[in-house]
Amino acid sequence: MAVEPQDAESIRNYLMSFAGWELVPDDVVARLMEGVECMEVKRKRSIFRRGEPGPGLFLVKSGEFKLSLISSEGREQILYLAEQGKMIGEGFLPQEVQCAASAFAMQDSEVWRFDTADVIRLSAKSEALAFALMRHMAFRSNRLIDLVLDLSLRSVQRRLASFLYSLAIRQVTDDGKPVVIPRQLDMNTVAARLGTVREEISRALNRMQREGVLSLSRQEIVVLDIQALERVTYE
């Protein structure tokens, strides 16, 4: 399915939100978008899997994707979640290089695909485009290093507190009211993202509730003491 003309402005705006893309000439961006393919991806279906050749560079149009690894025992580690407007670069590889992880839709989603060969060809002609792609890959590499540090050096409770704090801080207001975090992700997804299992997440949540940091219900997590939540991340 070819990209719709009305999508061109959305693609441009999303790309320009990434560092370095503002330096890419307009004509290069226009040529990049000429070969864009819009793909509809059903829930739990993949756009690429570990061990497959890289099919291209992806930009999420709607929905959400997870980049993950699954062990031979079936345990999943989510590397990151990509929502609308986010780029998935791990499939942007030369054909002889296999993908190191898999990318699955978490709900019915749409994604724009930039073919690897097209992007490489344009990158060879535009230093600005090559630099923008390098910056994005460096950012993702740094985030993965942070994840390795989290998994190896921080307890489950600290990882969970850090995750909740990052969600809560976006909603803090000056009136001092408790921050409400809707429970949009199921426990298994949160556990997979934080490198643990559902039972450990439940224990950590209940511990923070007993300590007066959180209040829990099926629909939401209420942060009663955001300073205490921040302290837990550094204990």
Same domain for 99 and 176? no
Strand 87-88 and strand 56-62: the pairing is antiparallel
- CA dist 202 and 206 (Å) reads 6
The CB-side HSE value for 20 (13 A sphere, CA atoms) comes to: 14
Q: Report pLDDT for 184.
A: 83
Question: Are the C-beta atoms of residues 198 and 188 closer than 8 Å to each other?
Answer: yes
Burial class (CB in 10 A: 0-12, 13-18, 19+), 194: buried
Please tell me the total count of domains within the chain. 2
Read off the CATH number of the domain in which 88 is found: 2.60.120.10
Q: Which of 151, 169, 203 is the last residue of a domain?
A: 151
- Return phi, psi of residue 173, to 5°: -120, 170
Q: Which of 118, 151, 184 is the last residue of a domain?
A: 151
Same domain for 165 and 213? yes
**Best CA proximity match to 94, nearest among 79, 112, 111, 115:** 115
Q: Is the pTM of this model over 0.85?
A: no
- CA dist 194 and 84 (Å) reads 22
Same domain for 49 and 141? yes
In order along its 235 residues, the chain shows pLDDT tens digits of: 556 777 889 999 999 999 999 999 999 999 999 889 999 999 999 999 999 998 999 999 999 999 999 888 888 899 999 999 999 999 998 878 999 999 999 999 999 999 999 999 999 999 999 999 999 999 999 988 988 888 888 899 999 999 899 888 887 776 667 889 988 888 988 999 898 989 999 999 999 999 999 999 989 999 999 899 999 987 6
- CA dist 215 and 228 (Å) reads 13
Same domain for 31 and 100? yes
Same domain for 83 and 112? yes
Query: 110 forms bridges with which residues in the sheet?
Result: 40, 62
3-state helix, strand, coil in the chain (%, to 5): 45, 25, 30
Same domain for 145 and 164? no
| Span between the terminal Cα atoms of the chain, in Å | 51
Q: Report pLDDT for 200.
A: 93
Strand 46-48 and strand 109-115: the pairing is unpaired
Residue linked to tokens 């929502």: 83
Name residues whose C-beta falls within 8 Å of residue 195's C-beta, 6 or more positions apart in sequence: 77, 147, 150, 151, 159
Same domain for 42 and 80? yes
Same domain for 94 and 169? no
Q: Report pLDDT for 134.
A: 94
Read off the CATH number of the domain in which 201 is found: 1.10.10.10
Same domain for 146 and 158? no
Domain, as residue range, for 122: 5-151
Same domain for 96 and 72? yes
- CA dist 215 and 206 (Å) reads 9
**Best CA proximity match to 9, nearest among 37, 33, 41:** 33
Same domain for 102 and 202? no
Which H/E stretch holds residue 170?
none
**Best CA proximity match to 155, nearest among 219, 200, 198, 108:** 200
Same domain for 24 and 82? yes
Q: Which of 127, 151, 175 is the last residue of a domain?
A: 151
